Amino acid sequence: MGKDRDFMAAARGLHQQLIAWRRDFHAHPELGFEEKRTAGIVADTLGELGYRVETGIAKTGVIGLLEGTKSGPTVMIRFDMDALPITEENETDYVSQNPGVMHACGHDAHVAIGLGVATLMAQYRDEIGGTVKLVFQPGEEGMNGAEVMVAEGALEDPRPDVFLATHVWNDKPTGIIDVTPGAVMAAAERWACTVRGKGGHGALPHQTVDPVVIAAQIVMALQTIVSRNVNPLETAVVTVGTINGGDAFNIIPNQVELTGTIRTYNPEVREMVLQRLRQVAEDIAAAHGAEADVTLTPLTPAVINDAQVAEHVRAAAQAVVGPDNISVGERTMGSEDAAFFMQDVPGCYFFLGSADPARGLNAPHHNSHFDIDEEALALGVAVMMRAAAHYLL
Ligand SMILES: [Zn+2]
Ligand SMILES: [Zn+2]
């Protein structure tokens, strides 16, 4: 596969097919681990293209393997397939036909890009030195489908040497591609805290240990973890998402429950924030004669782009869109389970601009009006092809 091939021209040749795929998936969205129709189309298409196809990984996941004619590294490219429980409010002829379910994050575009990459890779098969491993993943939206796929052997046989993934990105216009080395998506944890006091009459507080007042102090004190404990040059979020306690206006309850999330990039900062959250909650409760039980549940590790792989992807993207359209520095405290594939495999997760504000195609992700500029599809295929070509030449 010559590095100098015009992958953009090849991808443009697929333009109508990419749009047809994307609109079909958009009209037929499926929730995580239920992507049966989508996975069926993916498996059939990969089979027709000559891939060795494995289905049913993490319920609906599909892996397609294409071995080149020469030996070389294994490049794994991942595309997520799931939609969201949102009622679509767009008025297009490809609007969701599945009430209450919508491709509001753009994973329909990812599957289309994946099939485009699969098509072009098959065309260049005779020149490939190495193996293309395309992974179509279920349940990215808060379900950790990637973790399940890894547990079911997705990183074995063959083990990838490089990992690539992309996300269409409505925070950037079409044509802009962001490739950022280092952390780009945060590690996420769920935390829960039960403050146990002693309930009683709302008019007789001296007979109680009031968990409402203690919980309020804990909520305020948690704000100082980011503002006073985390190095100002580092990044962290501590959010309280729910507070529940009490049944009546004149009764002090026995306990109050808090839940929330913690987001960090740096593992050392993560450890410190987790430890401080526990200490702040437990010690404030103790100071008032109450108890706080804190549980911390890790959800997703951080997505950390390997500097060298990111440099190759940046060069590939620059060859497609030109130096003026490369952006560096897009980061979000959102999480992304691609991190499970990237823990031991050097990789790069890049953002593919997909907004066209002039046509109103710039609604935020997870919004009921979300839609993308389909010009991004061919760009995604071209950049992915060129980035993979670096390794498979
Ligand atoms: Zn999403
Ligand atoms: Zn997404």
Question: Does residue 5 have a pLDDT over 90?
Answer: no
Out of 88, 140, 282, 356, which one is annotated catalytic? Answer: 140
pLDDT tens, 31-87? 999 999 999 999 999 999 999 999 999 999 999 999 999 999 999 999 999 999 999
Cross-strand partners of 244: 257
pLDDT tens for residues 309-348? 999 999 999 999 999 999 999 999 999 999 999 999 999 9
Distance between CA atoms of 263 and 90, rounded to whole angstroms?
Answer: 32
Q: What's the pLDDT at 3?
A: 53
At residue 264, does pLDDT exceed 90? Answer: yes
Greatest CA separation found in the chain?
83
Q: What is the pLDDT of residues 187-236, one digit of tens each?
A: 999 999 999 999 999 999 999 999 999 999 999 999 999 999 999 999 99
Strands 251-252 and 52-57, sheet pairing: unpaired
Instruction: Return mean pLDDT, the chain.
Output: 97
Q: Is 282 a catalytic residue?
A: no
What is the whole-number distance in angstroms between the Cα of residue 299 and the centre of ligand 1?
15
Is 265 buried (19+), middle (13-18) or exposed (0-12) by CB count in 10 A?
buried
1 has pLDDT over 80: no
Q: Which residues, 6 or more positions from 102, have their beta carbon under 8 angstroms from its beta carbon? A: 29, 83, 84, 86, 87, 88, 96, 368, 370
177, β-bridge pairs: 326, 352
pLDDT-derived band at 2, boundaries 50, 70, 90: low
User: Any idea which ligand is nearest the CA of 110?
Assistant: 2
CA 38–ligand 2 middle distance (angstroms): 16
- List the catalytic residue out of 30, 35, 82, 210: 82
Identify the band that residue 238 occupies on the pLDDT scale cut at 50, 70 and 90.
Answer: very high
Q: What average pLDDT does the segment 149-156 reach?
A: 98
User: Does residue 140 carry a catalytic annotation?
Assistant: yes
